[in-house]
C-alpha cells in the first residue's frame, strides 16, 4: 500500500503511540471507559497505524482472545503490554498472581540468594504467561527505591528499600523475563521512590542533588540496563536540581542527557501515561506529546487524546520543531524490539494456553510462604464473633470475591463477616481514644483483617485511618481475637508495636486468595500445628 507524504508521516508517527484498551472483548465490559477506547475507535486507530496497546481487565483466556482481535485489526506487528508487575494474574483473572516485589526485598535482607532465585523465577513466570496470553511487553521491573514509607504510589511495587537490594532483585527479574522473549521495561526513571505524593493526582517534586540521585535513585536503573532491559519508562516528577521547568517525562536534561548519554541507554524510552494529572493539569494532549518526544521519548503512552497527539507530532515534524532524524531513530528502536520478539519466540496461538502450569502454581504458593510472618501465639479459637475486613476501594475488588478465604474460612468457624471500605459503612466514631464504633459492628470477639497497600489514585487517604488506636481499643476491651495485615509492611510494623504478644497475628505482603488461605489456615488451626511452621514466624 502506498501513501502520500502526508499520510506516510502520519502513519509513522502513529506507530509511536500506545493507547489504552480493556482486556474484555465487549464495550459494555470496560471497567474504566474514561481511559479505555471503545472498539470502534480502537479499530480505527489501529488501521490508522497506531503501534501499541496497553491492556487491563478480564481473564487470562479473554486476554488471549483480545490480543488476537487487536492483531487482526492492524496490518503491522503491535506492541501489546500490561502493568503486570505482580504476575499476569494481578490484572487478568486465572493467571498467576504473585506477591508484591517488596516482599522479596525484605526477604533479601536475611536470605539474599533465595530472594534472587525467586526473583528470577518470578520474571520467568511473568514473561511466559504474558507471552501465552498474547502480550509481548511487560511494563516492569519497577526500579524505584522505596526509601520513603509514606510513598502512596510505589510502596510495595518496589523491589527494595535500598538501592543495592532494588537493583539486584530487579536485575534478577529482568534476567528471568528475558529468557521468555518478552520485552521488559525499567520504571519510573529517574526514580519515584522518595516521594510522598501520587503523580496520578499531581506533580511530585524530588528536590535531590545530582550526587544524591547517583547514590540512591540511579543504581537500580544502571543494573537493569546492564542486564539488558529493552525499554525505560519515565516518571512524572519534577527534579529542580536538574530541570526547574519540566518534569522528567518532558525534560531533555533527564531523558537525553542523563538516560541516553550518561547511562548509555539506546533502547526504547516510553513515557508514563500522559493521561495522568501530573501532565494533564499543565499541558494539552498535543503539546504534551510534542514535549515528551522533544525531550527524548520514543513511545507516547496513553495520551489524553490519541488523534490530537498524532496531529501535534506531525505538525512538529512539518514545522521543523522536531527533527526527522529523531523520528527515524525511534522507529528503528521500535522495529528492532519487535524483530527481537519474533526471532526469539515466534507466537503459535494453537500451542499457547494461558492456564498456569503446575510449576507456576507452586511458585505462587512458595512466594507466599517465603514471605509470610506469624506472631508466635496460640491459634484463634474464638467463634460467634465479627470478622471485620477493611478493603481498598469498592466491590468488586480482586482480592475479595464471595468465595475468598478471608471470608469463607472465618465464617466456617462461626464469625460473621463485616466488610468496610471508603464508600460504605464507616466503623469510626469521633472519640480518638476509642475510634471504632463497636455498636455498629456487633458483639463478640473481633478478627481484624486489613487489606492495605499503596494504591494509585488514593493519595494519602489511607494513612489517616487510626488502626493503631483501634487495635489498642479492642485489646483494652479483650475483644481482639486476631489481626492480619495484607499488603503494606509499614502498617504491620506500626501495629506490631502496640500488639500484645499473646494475640494471634500475621502479615502477608500478598493480598491474593492464596495468601489468605495460607494465613488463615495457619491462624485458625494454630493449636494443631507443628514446629514445621517455624520458618514463617517473626
Q: Which residues does 350 contact at the CB level (< 8 Å), separation at least 6? A: none
Nearest residue to 504 via CA among 537, 535, 456, 458:
537
- Per the DSSP assignment, residues forming a β-bridge with 417 are 387
Question: Which residue has cell 470477639?
Answer: 445
Provide the CB-side half-sphere exposure for 285 (13 A, CA). Answer: 14
Question: Which of helix, strand or coil describes residue 108?
Answer: coil
User: Which sign, positive or negative, has the C-alpha torsion 460, 462, 467, 470?
Assistant: positive
Contact by Cβ (8 Å): 68, 110: no
Spatial separation of the C-alpha atoms in residues 390 and 428, rounded to whole Å: 12
221 φψ region: left (φ > 0), alpha (ψ -120 to 50), beta (else) = alpha
200 is catalytic: yes
Q: Which of 24, 200, 208, 236 is catalytic?
A: 200
Question: Which residue has cell 509481548?
Answer: 136
Nearest residue to 81 via CA among 31, 137, 126, 122:
137
Spatial separation of the C-alpha atoms in residues 372 and 160, rounded to whole Å: 17
Q: Which residues does 257 contact at the CB level (< 8 Å), separation at least 6? A: none
**Helix 467-476 × helix 489-496 angle, to 10°:** 40
Neighbours of 183 (CB within 10 A): 25
Q: Residue 20 corresponds to which cell in the numbers above?
A: 489504552
Report CA-CA distances (Å) from 276 to 12, 41, 273, 494: 25, 21, 6, 31
Largest CA distance in the chain: 78
Q: Which of 198, 272, 298, 392 is catalytic?
A: 272
Contact by Cβ (8 Å): 162, 117: no
- In the chain, DSSP finds a helix count (H) and a strand count (E) of 19, 14
The four Cα atoms 337, 343, 349, 353 give a dihedral, to 10 degrees, of -80
Spatial separation of the C-alpha atoms in residues 431 and 270, rounded to whole Å: 49
Nearest residue to 485 via CA among 460, 514, 453:
453
Q: Residue 181 corresponds to which cell in the numbers above?
A: 522473549
Q: Residue 482 corresponds to which cell in the numbers above?
A: 486476631
Spatial separation of the C-alpha atoms in residues 161 and 370, rounded to whole Å: 18
State the catalytic residues: 200, 272
Amino acid at each position: 500500500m502506498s501513501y502520500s507524504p502526508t499520510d506516510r508521516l502520519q502513519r509513522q508517527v502513529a506507530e509511536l503511540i500506545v493507547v489504552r484498551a480493556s482486556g474484555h472483548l465487549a464495550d459494555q465490559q470496560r471497567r474504566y471507559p474514561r481511559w479505555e477506547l471503545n472498539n470502534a475507535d480502537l479499530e480505527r486507530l489501529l488501521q490508522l497505524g497506531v503501534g501499541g496497546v496497553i491492556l487491563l481487565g478480564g481473564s487470562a483466556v479473554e486476554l488471549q482472545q483480545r490480543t488476537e482481535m487487536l492483531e487482526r485489526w492492524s496490518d503491522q506487528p503491535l506492541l501489546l503490554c500490561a502493568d503486570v508487575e505482580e504476575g499476569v494474574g494481578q490484572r487478568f483473572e486465572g493467571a498467576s498472581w504473585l506477591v508484591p516485589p517488596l516482599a522479596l526485598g525484605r526477604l533479601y535482607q536475611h536470605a539474599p540468594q533465595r530472594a534472587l532465585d525467586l526473583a528470577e523465577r518470578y520474571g520467568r513466570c511473568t514473561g511466559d504467561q504474558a507471552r501465552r496470553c498474547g502480550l509481548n511487553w511487560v511494563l516492569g521491573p519497577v526500579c524505584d527505591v522505596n526509601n520513603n514509607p509514606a510513598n502512596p504510589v510505589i510502596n510495595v511495587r518496589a523491589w527494595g528499600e535500598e538501592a543495592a537490594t532494588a537493583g539486584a532483585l530487579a536485575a534478577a527479574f529482568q534476567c528471568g523475563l528475558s529468557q521468555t522473549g518478552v520485552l521488559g521495561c525499567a520504571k519510573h526513571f529517574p526514580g519515584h521512590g522518595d516521594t510522598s505524593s501520587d503523580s496520578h493526582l499531581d506533580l511530585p517534586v524530588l528536590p535531590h542533588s545530582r550526587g544524591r540521585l547517583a547514590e540512591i535513585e540511579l543504581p537500580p536503573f544502571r543494573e537493569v540496563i546492564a542486564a539488558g532491559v529493552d525499554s525505560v519508562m519515565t516518571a512524572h516528577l519534577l527534579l529542580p536540581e536538574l530541570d526547574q521547568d519540566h518534569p522528567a517525562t518532558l525534560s531533555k536534561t533527564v531523558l537525553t542527557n542523563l538516560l541516553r548519554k550518561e547511562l548509555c541507554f539506546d533502547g526504547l524510552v516510553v513515557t508514563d501515561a500522559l493521561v495522568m494529572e501530573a501532565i494533564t493539569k499543565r499541558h494539552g494532549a498535543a503539546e504534551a506529546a510534542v514535549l515528551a518526544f522533544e525531550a527524548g521519548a520514543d513511545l507516547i503512552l496513553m495520551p489524553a487524546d490519541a488523534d490530537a497527539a498524532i496531529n501535534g507530532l506531525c505538525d512538529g515534524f512539518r514545522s521543523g520543531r522536531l527533527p526527522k532524524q529523531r523520528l527515524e531513530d525511534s522507529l528503528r528502536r521500535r522495529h528492532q524490539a519487535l524483530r527481537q520478539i519474533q526471532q526469539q519466540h515466534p507466537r503459535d496461538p494453537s500451542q499457547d494456553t494461558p492456564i498456569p502450569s503446575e510449576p507456576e502454581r507452586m511458585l505462587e504458593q512458595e512466594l507466599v510462604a517465603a514471605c509470610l510472618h506469624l506472631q508466635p501465639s496460640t491459634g484463634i479459637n474464638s467463634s460467634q464473633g465479627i470478622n471485620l475486613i477493611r478493603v481498598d476501594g469498592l466491590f468488586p475488588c480482586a482480592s475479595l470475591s464471595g468465595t475468598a478465604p478471608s471470608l469463607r474460612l472465618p465464617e466456617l468457624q462461626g464469625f460473621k463477616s463485616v466488610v468496610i471500605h471508603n464508600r460504605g459503612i464507616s466503623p469510626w466514631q469521633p472519640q480518638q481514644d476509642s475510634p471504632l464504633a463497636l455498636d455498629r459492628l456487633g458483639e463478640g470477639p473481633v478478627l481484624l483483617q486489613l487489606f492495605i497497600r499503596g494504591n494509585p489514585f488514593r493519595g494519602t487517604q489511607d494513612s489517616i485511618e487510626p488502626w493503631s488506636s483501634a487495635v489498642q481499643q479492642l485489646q483494652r476491651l479483650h475483644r481482639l481475637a486476631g489481626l492480619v495485615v495484607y499488603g503494606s509492611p509499614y502498617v504491620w510494623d506500626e501495629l506490631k508495636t502496640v500488639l500484645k504478644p499473646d494475640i494471634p497475628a500475621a502479615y502477608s505482603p500478598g493480598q491474593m486468595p492464596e495468601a489468605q488461605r495460607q494465613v488463615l489456615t495457619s491462624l485458625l488451626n494454630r493449636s494443631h500445628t507443628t514446629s514445621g511452621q517455624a520458618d514463617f514466624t517473626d
